């Protein structure tokens, strides 16, 4: 099967490696011609150290080869996904479009699959999410993901197409739950990083993860998610992974915030924008989301770590 991948970063390239080694022909598109040339000549991606790109991955900076594929994985940051979809809506009509990013669009307040549905009505939207790091996928380490697609027949087809020996894909029709689980866990990862960066200890991080999960559930249920989805791979599974590993960019960003250290501004941190979107949604829906609100304020320099922690620790005591 020929599968297109839009996005030549670590995650897009890692998915390409896994699928190519399973026998699929992969058409990988990256917007930077210099990066494409490097991948073509060295058969490596600088963000995936020690991983060889199989010959079954064709790499191009031109969009025409990508648009020749019926199924396209969109490994593009959530905040830039709308721009890509709008610019190429006509060429993407009729395609199976699988979002591989996690976040909430600040302008539309929608998750990736919903953004596809709204901006390319003629496409079939889906979302691939769950606890995974690009390096693990590229190295062939066992990984389990969720494929969310409202059309269960199409979901079953994509589940088969995207599963490999070491990449197990489970499916759901609850795209809203999968979107929100993947987006909200990034906010909690920032909070967890802040706790460790500020030297509050492992117990504080455990408390944040435990209290953060109900926040995720409250918003997801209010927006129509199924209760069980957040307890699965795309919610709780991804939450545990990103809140406990420095492979997570959101967690590392939180570490820097907590320690008062600099952070590479060129690194995509989806949780920062998501926190601001969640704060707005929480206000509109009158939902109590203190951790997400504090993280949003910290990312905009509206508060400092000491004040933010005092805000959380001074909340009223109540039954769990």
Q: What is the pLDDT of residue 311?
A: 82
Q: Where in the chain is the domain with CATH 3.40.50.720?
A: 2-173
Give 156-192 pLDDT, tens digit per residue: 999 999 999 999 999 999 999 999 999 999 999 999 9
Residue segments in the chain with a per-residue pLDDT below the cut of 70: 313, 315-320
95 is catalytic: no
Q: How far apart are CA 126 and CA 134, in angstroms?
A: 20
Give 236-259 pLDDT, tens digit per residue: 999 999 999 999 999 999 999 999
Assign a CATH topology to domain 183-313.
Answer: 1.10.1040
Q: What is the pLDDT of residue 1?
A: 78
Question: Going by C-beta distance under 8 Å and a sequence separation of 6 or more, which residues neighbour residue 143?
Answer: 130, 131, 132, 136, 137, 166, 167, 168
Q: Where in the chain is the domain with CATH 1.10.1040.10?
A: 183-313
Which of 95, 102, 185, 302 does the annotation list as catalytic?
Answer: 185
Given the candidates 3.40.1360.10, 3.40.50.720, 3.90.550.10, 3.30.420.40, the CATH classification of the domain at 2-173 is 3.40.50.720
Question: Going by C-beta distance under 8 Å and a sequence separation of 6 or more, which residues neighbour residue 83?
Answer: none
Q: What is the pLDDT of residue 269?
A: 93
Q: Which residue has the tokens 């320690």?
A: 259
Q: What is the pLDDT of residue 265?
A: 85
| Pair 212, 291: CB distance under 8 Å | yes
| Pair 45, 10: CB distance under 8 Å | yes
């Amino acid at each position: 099967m020929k599968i297109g991948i839009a996005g030549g970063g670590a995650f897009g390239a890692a998915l390409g490696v896994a699928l190519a080694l399973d026998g699929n022909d992969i058409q990988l598109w990256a917007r930077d011609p210099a990066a494409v040339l490097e991948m073509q000549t060295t058969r490596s991606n600088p963000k995936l150290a020690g991983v060889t790109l199989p010959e079954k991955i064709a790499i191009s900076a031109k969009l025409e080869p990508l648009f020749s594929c019926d199924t396209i994985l969109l490994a593009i940051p959530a905040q830039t996904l709308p721009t890509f979809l709008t610019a190429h809506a006509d060429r993407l009509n009729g395609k199976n479009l699988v979002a591989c990013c996690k976040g909430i669009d600040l302008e539309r307040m929608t998750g990736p699959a919903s953004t596809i549905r709204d901006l390319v009505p003629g496409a079939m939207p889906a979302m691939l999410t769950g606890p995974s790091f690009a390096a693990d996928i590229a190295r062939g380490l066992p990984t389990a993901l969720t494929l969310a697609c409202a059309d269960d027949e199409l979901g079953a087809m994509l589940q088969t197409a995207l599963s490999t020996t070491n990449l197990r894909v489970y499916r759901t029709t609850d795209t809203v739950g999968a979107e929100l689980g993947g987006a909200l866990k990034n906010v909690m990862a920032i909070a967890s990083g802040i706790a460790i960066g500020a030297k509050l200890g492992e117990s504080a991080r455990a408390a944040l993860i435990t209290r953060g999960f109900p926040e995720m559930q409250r918003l997801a249920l209010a927006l129509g998610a199924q209760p069980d989805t957040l307890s699965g791979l795309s919610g709780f599974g991804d939450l545990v992974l990103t809140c406990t590993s420095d492979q997570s960019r959101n967690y590392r960003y939180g570490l820097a915030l907590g320690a008062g250290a600099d952070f590479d501004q060129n690194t995509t941190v989806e949780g920062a924008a998501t926190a601001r979107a969640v704060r707005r949604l929480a206000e509109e829906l009158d939902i109590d989301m203190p951790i997400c609100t504090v993280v949003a304020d910290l990312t905009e320099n509206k508060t400092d770590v000491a004040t933010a922690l005092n805000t959380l620790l001074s909340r009223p005591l109540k039954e769990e």
